[in-house]
Structure 1
């Protein structure tokens, strides 16, 4: 359900920017499972609660979190390489699926010729590979990955770059996010953000930054329909 009723005049929506993992793709749970498995591969029992701290965090930030928690001797490179291998195995086994409501929302944007982009903390290789696997690669006008920016989320650069690629002013864009760092990035870019939680519930800070907190992409589509009249 919506956090609050929609009242008053809404700024028009000329472009929509999506996060990918946990928002379009039901992939965050796979990534977390892969992190736990990678820990065991390199000889560490890493709890899921710690792994969830890495949701939406760029690669460099994840490495910093791991080093701070497990020390300078932790085999960081081997750990993240193992995570990629485990995640690839999960994806190749057919476990990567779309989040509910993705296709109706994209169909609506197609019908009304509303441009859309992706701003993700994943690598270009992983992003393109996963989007092609689920048939979404050709449904976006622009894709900004961690390889395309100097500073990843929660810095606003990914969202500002995505808006620029769409040719839409940030204030006329709408962001869809599941993670705390992503919501911070969109808010810092001056973009309205709908937060649709996946594995992390929004705290008071994120609720304050969110334009609305929604249950799923069906509610996001309903919001866009109402806003456009």
Structure 2
């Protein structure tokens, strides 16, 4: 359900999705892989630190790890091992969709609404993970960290995604789970609904969000209502 504060449905001509933690139940796997990579190097990576990396592009993650563990920490080895751990978890079938993904995409298909992904993941990881769960052909555009100069919370990923689906930012709807992603969408002038995964929304995020909702089933109800109120 949405936040307690009421909100009016807005026109929606396109939808832009985050990927990890929003479409895919992948953040818990990524954190498990971080812990495993640290253990292989004899380093304890606490869950609270893992959550600091949620939604942060690779360069930002590297900076946070370097800050926490010092200049002598084997950064490239650590992230290579994390990628290997994550790949093993995905290959074992543990990557699944978040609740409500398919009904929402099916509705967008019926309404002929363009949709994009704006993710902080790399192109190779994004393409592989979407193919693993059968979503690789369900988006009109996919913007990864390799497609932009500045990642989230900079607005560039969302502005690029809106441009690629041919819609004005203010006529799109962004769907996010992370703080940095919500800030990026807001900075791009795109109304954003936050569907929390591992991070509870702060007061700052709640102030920036159109609404905070439990899952994508609730988002689907909102989009239906908005389309009924503002038909194309």
Question: 1:13-162 to 2 correspondence within 5 Å?
Answer: 13-162=12-161
Alignment of 1:176 with 2:175, yes or no, is yes
Large movers: runs of 4+ above 4 Å = 5-8
Distance of 1:159 and 1:93 partners within structure 2: 32
Cα distance, 1:128 vs structure 2: 0.3
Note the aligned Cα RMSD (angstroms).
Answer: 0.8
Cα distance, 1:7 vs structure 2: 4.4
Report the secondary structure of 1:175's partner residue: strand
Cα distance, 1:5 vs structure 2: 5.5
What is the aligned partner in structure 2 of residue 3 from structure 1?
3
Give the stretch that moved more between structures: 10-19 or 54-63: 10-19
Distance of 2:161 and 2:42 partners within structure 1: 39
Distance of 2:4 and 2:29 partners within structure 1: 32
Distance of 2:198 and 2:85 partners within structure 1: 19
TM-score normalised by length of structure 1: 0.98
Report the secondary structure of 2:79's partner residue: helix
Cα distance, 1:228 vs structure 2: 1.0
C-alpha deviations, 1:153-193, integer Å up to 9, x for none? 00000000000000000000000000000000000000000
Cα distance, 1:42 vs structure 2: 1.6
Question: 1:195-210 to 2 correspondence within 5 Å?
Answer: 195-210=194-209
Cα distance, 1:70 vs structure 2: 0.7
CA contact (8 A) 2:117 2:161 kept: yes
Report the secondary structure of 1:147's partner residue: helix
Distance of 2:5 and 2:222 partners within structure 1: 10
Distance of 2:28 and 2:55 partners within structure 1: 12
Unpaired stretches in structure 2, ≥5 consecutive residues: none
C-alpha deviations, 1:185-220, integer Å up to 9, x for none? 000000000000000000100000110000000000
C-alpha deviations, 1:52-98, integer Å up to 9, x for none? 10000000000000011111001110000000000000000000000
Distance of 2:99 and 2:64 partners within structure 1: 31
Distance of 2:5 and 2:199 partners within structure 1: 23
Cα distance, 1:11 vs structure 2: 2.9
Cα distance, 1:41 vs structure 2: 1.1
Distance of 1:228 and 1:151 partners within structure 2: 32
Distance of 1:78 and 1:32 partners within structure 2: 16
Cα distance, 1:6 vs structure 2: 4.3
Distance of 1:113 and 1:30 partners within structure 2: 33
